[in-house]
């Protein structure tokens, strides 16, 4: 491979479709027929893309390796966060923090209001922190336990958590994606946030209505108080202390994020606080704390529902997810380096004409990059760069582009099992994205809302006249 000619060219649409169609076929067969994990299909997809890049496009293996490594570097922070969260969950269970959240939650929350309350609570926490990951890793894991105790199907519970968490992640000025999208589109942060209210606000209201309707179905059923009492009794017997004082670690982590402490040291601080609380409140020795941090907490009470609920966490529990992310990012880096993603996006623009066509192309491209590369940052950066001038040519304000980027790239990332976000949510909540996706109503509705505005022109703001004159001059001079 190193002896290939140095003359390189970008991929055509036909060449770009070869690894993409191959990947889709292999993934579908492996996941549906073989019930296999997606890791090896992603590696095979990366191999197919590499073969096209080397033998058809003139790239060397070194070029492709650099492309893969560059993409992996973009996600290294996310991978490190994932590993720290594994240790955090282990120490928080050992310390009694998560059990206390479940214990008191079962006391005060009823099935009738549980789903909409879950969505609202997660939205508030995520707005305050700017992080869907922090939200899922703190209140999310406790809500899953409460839902299980109430007899709610876990995919529905996870869907409500995801909807709330991604509302805040999308709308908070503290969020990395909320800052990245306007930077790529060429608008300001607060213009971007205000413009997203038109799509995200109605989407959240519709989601809350749907969660309320589903919750009403369960409110009419008699609660299995025996199951709830069994879980509460087992919690009392398994932990020396169950107290609201043990809620201090998640509160501290949320406050650190609000006050802009970097994510990794903030989460490490939360894990250390959990370790200290495990020693102080549960009498755990150092060996038990290290064991829970590395391998996770293992519950062996003999009560199946309880053991399933609390056997989780630890650094090792995240390695499946980390390997999945690395496989997906390797594929994504090769597809970007060889211009295959750019070729596919360009083909979309040829058939997607006008305002609606441009919004449609943006949303499809963002979802496509999320699927192909497994990385939401790339799904914002690549379409943002590719469509920036196309919006200007149509006289559309760049905040329309930044909104479409977030409506699709940010919100669909958690619905894809091999995406960094979907893999993280699976590892944290213990529910597969394939299972919770039909119930993540905000994430499903928001892209459709964006398409509706693109079709009708509602809220699709134009460029100011002085900016439009500049664009017309640039078009005349062939600059864009």
Q: What is the three-class DSSP state of 330?
A: helix
What count of Cα atoms within 13 Å lies in the side-chain half-sphere of residue 372?
29
pLDDT on residue 419: 87
- Judged against a pLDDT cut of 50, whether residue 192 lies above it is answered with yes
Q: Residue 467 — very low, low, confident or very high, per pLDDT cuts 50/70/90?
A: confident
- Judged against a pLDDT cut of 60, whether residue 6 lies above it is answered with no
Q: Give the mean pLDDT of 10-28.
A: 88
Instruction: Centre a 10 Å sphere on the Cβ of residue 28 and count the other Cβ atoms it contains.
Output: 11
Instruction: Centre a 10 Å sphere on the Cβ of residue 441 and count the other Cβ atoms it contains.
Output: 22
Taking CB atoms within 8 Å and a gap of at least 24, the contacts of 51-55 are 52/11, 52/15, 52/18, 52/19, 52/338, 52/340, 53/11, 53/334, 53/337, 53/338, 54/1, 54/4, 55/4
Whole-angstrom distance, CA of residue 173 vs CA of residue 167: 12
- Judged against a pLDDT cut of 50, whether residue 4 lies above it is answered with no
Give the CA distances from residue 324 to residues 85, 303, 432, in Å, rounded to whole numbers and listed in that order: 17, 32, 14
Of 76-90, 117-131, 196-210, 367-381, which has the strongest mean pLDDT? 196-210
Cβ(333)–Cβ(374) below 8 Å: no
Q: What is the per-residue DSSP string for 220-237?
A: TSPP-HHHHHHHHHHHHH
- Judged against a pLDDT cut of 60, whether residue 2 lies above it is answered with no
Q: Give the mean pLDDT of 408-423.
A: 91
Identify the DSSP state of 297: B
Q: Residue 27 — very low, low, confident or very high, per pLDDT cuts 50/70/90?
A: confident
β-partners of residue 312 are 297
């Amino acid at each position: 491979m190193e002896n290939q000619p140095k003359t390189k060219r970008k991929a055509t649409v036909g060449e770009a479709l070869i690894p993409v169609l191959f990947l889709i076929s292999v993934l579908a067969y492996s996941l549906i027929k073989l019930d296999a994990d997606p890791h090896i299909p992603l590696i095979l997809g990366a191999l197919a893309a590499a073969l096209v890049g080397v033998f058809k496009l003139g790239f060397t293996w070194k070029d492709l390796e650099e492309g893969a490594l560059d993409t992996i570097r973009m996600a290294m922070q996310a991978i490190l966060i994932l590993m720290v969260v594994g240790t955090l969950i282990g120490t928080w269970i050992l310390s009694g923090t998560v059990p206390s959240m479940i214990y008191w939650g079962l006391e005060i929350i009823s099935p009738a209001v549980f789903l909409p309350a879950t969505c609202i609570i997660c939205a508030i926490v995520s707005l305050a922190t700017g992080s869907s990951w922090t939200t899922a890793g703190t209140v999310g894991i406790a809500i899953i336990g409460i839902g299980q105790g109430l007899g709610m199907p876990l995919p529905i519970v996870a869907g409500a958590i995801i909807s709330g968490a991604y509302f805040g992640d999308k709308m908070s000025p503290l969020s990395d994606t909320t800052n990245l999208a306007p930077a790529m589109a060429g608008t300001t942060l607060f213009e971007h946030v205000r413009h997203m209210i038109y799509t995200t606000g109605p989407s959240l209201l519709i989601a809350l209505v749907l969660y309320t309707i589903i919750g009403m179905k369960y409110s009419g059923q008699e609660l299995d108080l025996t199951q709830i009492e069994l879980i509460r009794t087992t919690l009392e017997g398994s932990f020396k202390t169950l107290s609201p004082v043990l809620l201090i670690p998640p509160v501290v982590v949320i406050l650190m994020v609000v006050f802009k402490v970097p994510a990794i040291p903030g989460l490490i601080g939360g894990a250390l606080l959990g370790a200290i609380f495990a020693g102080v409140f549960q009498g755990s020795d150092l060996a038990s704390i290290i064991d829970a941090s590395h391998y996770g907490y293992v519950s062996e009470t003999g009560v199946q529902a309880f053991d399933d609920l609390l056997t989780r966490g630890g650094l090792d529990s995240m390695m499946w997810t980390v390997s999945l992310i690395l496989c997906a990012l390797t594929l994504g880096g090769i597809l970007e380096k060889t211009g295959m993603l750019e070729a596919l996006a360009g083909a979309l623009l040829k058939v997607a004409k006008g305002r609606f066509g441009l919004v449609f192309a943006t949303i499809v491209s963002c979802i496509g990059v999320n699927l192909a590369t497994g990385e939401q940052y790339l799904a914002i950066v690549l379409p943002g760069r590719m469509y920036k001038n196309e919006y200007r040519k149509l006289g559309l304000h760049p905040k329309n582009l930044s909104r479409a980027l977030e409506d699709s790239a940010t919100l669909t990332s958690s619905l894809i099992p091999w995406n960094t976000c979907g893999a993280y949510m699976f590892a944290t909540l213990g529910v597969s994205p394939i299972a919770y996706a039909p119930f993540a109503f905000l994430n499903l509705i928001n892209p459709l809302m964006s398409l509706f505005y693109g079709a009708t022109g509602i809220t699709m703001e134009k460029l100011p006249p002085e900016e439009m004159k500049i664009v017309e001059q640039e078009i005349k001079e062939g600059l864009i």
